Amino acid sequence: MTAVLRLENIAKSFLDDRGTRQLVLSGISLNVEAGEIVWLRGESGSGKSTILNISGLLSTPDAGKVWINGDNRTDASSREASRVRSNEIGMVFQSSNLLPELTALENVLLASSKPMTRATITEQLERFGLVAVADRQAKRLSGGQQQRVAFCRALINEPSLLLADEPSSGLDATNTEAILDAMRTGANSGCGILVASHDEVFQQVAHRQLPMKELFLEQK
């Protein structure tokens, strides 16, 4: 299989409120293969979101390397990182981060890296059960609908890598199942998926589990 994401010996630290540097990640290595769903397990504050931010080129590691589709993107410039995210990476966060005044369809269309017709966007929204609210402003959607729009937006460019940070947070069972179906669909089309969550529901779709505690123990 082909690794769409490879992290090698990643280290990351931050300054706390007292100006003391706190080590968050040290010697972390992991792979995500094409068509694979990998569940990164761990409680809040365990470093899951930091791993996703580094994987999505939103944050630069203090040490180690980040490979996306076989290319070393560790020191990518802001412009290059933005291009890679647009063309190769889809991202979904705990908050949907939709533009509230735009409609569901407009939010998805805005994320497209190539010209798309309304019919094409509508077809994508239909996969997530969102056709009925395509022309509704994001601020008027339910939390579950907003998160489904976020998944549709993340997958619109057919990325090779999808990163999802606590995507089921605050969702009911019906909307959570829609998210799981979206992940299955993405993986079946060859997308590699890294989902970070403490929610046990992801054991239903994950091909592999990576508990944060075990990732750290492997380095000792």
**Residue 101 contacts by C-beta under 8 Å, 6 or more apart in sequence?**
137, 138, 139
Q: How confident is the model at residue 216 (pLDDT cuts 50, 70, 90)?
A: low
List the chain domain ranges: 3-217
Note the pLDDT tens digit of each residue in 150-163. Answer: 999 999 999 999 99
What is d(CA 39, CA 72) in angstroms, rounded to the nearest whole number?
23
| The domain made up of 3-217 is a member of CATH 3.30.43.10 | no
Q: Residues 6-24: pLDDT tens digits?
A: 999 999 998 878 878 888 8
215 or 157, which is more confident: 157
Distances (CA, A) of 79 to 57, 75, 82, 86, 132: 11, 11, 5, 11, 36
pLDDT in tens, 126-183: 888 899 999 999 999 988 889 889 999 999 999 999 999 998 887 888 888 888 988 9
